[in-house]
Amino acid sequence: MTPDFSFEQAGFADGYHVIAGVDEVGRGPLAGPVTAAAVILDPARIPDGMHDSKKLTAKRREALYEQIAAVAEVSIAHASVEEIDSLNILRASHLAMERAVDGLPRVPDLALIDGNMIPAGLTMAAQAIVKGDARSLSISAASIMAKICRDYVMWDLAQQWPGYGWETNAGYPSKSHKLALRNLGVTPHHRRSFKPVHNILYQEK
């Protein structure tokens, strides 16, 4: 499955003029924010080789990040660890998506959302597309931008909180991360509502 521009072309045919692809990254990690991107592609200047960010090498993602940033309208937004813990990860990821759309230079009249749910706070027409990052070029672009930006956030946090391996595991529950969590303890950037973190806090008490 390779992403194409057919969902966007169908939207244009239905009378929509400004179409944004929206995706998030970071639902699964034990630490760090959940990050979303919204991207409005220029149909005449779509970078070659875009795909679901998980299917690209780090080098290719970096190159596409620069290319997308140069030709598209992009907005990045986050929902914090505190928001994840108070709302739940699904609602927090939708909040990040809503913020990303709100941050675009232009208000889209159609949002293409990766997944099977549309964030409740969106005020424009929206279409949920399962596996959208592998099917829609706009969502693919959003997945790349969100992934790179969140990786940068986690790399920065890794400099402040060494030992957890966030510069390589991006906060995901790798074996070394979970071991560090037990040995070094819970940081302010860990999601306390997530079971491995919650269990350590509970055991410490």
Give the residue numbers of the binding site for a divalent metal cation.
23-24, 114
**Residue 202 token pair:** 């509970």
The SS3 assignment for 19 reads strand
CB 19 within 8 A of CB 6: no
CB 76 within 8 A of CB 141: no
Rounded to a whole number of angstroms, the distance between the first and last alpha carbons of the chain is 49
Annotated binding site: 23-24, 114
> Which residue blocks in the chain are alpha helix, DSSP H?
6-13, 58-71, 81-87, 89-102, 137-160, 166-169, 175-184, 195-204
Give me the count of residues in the chain.
205
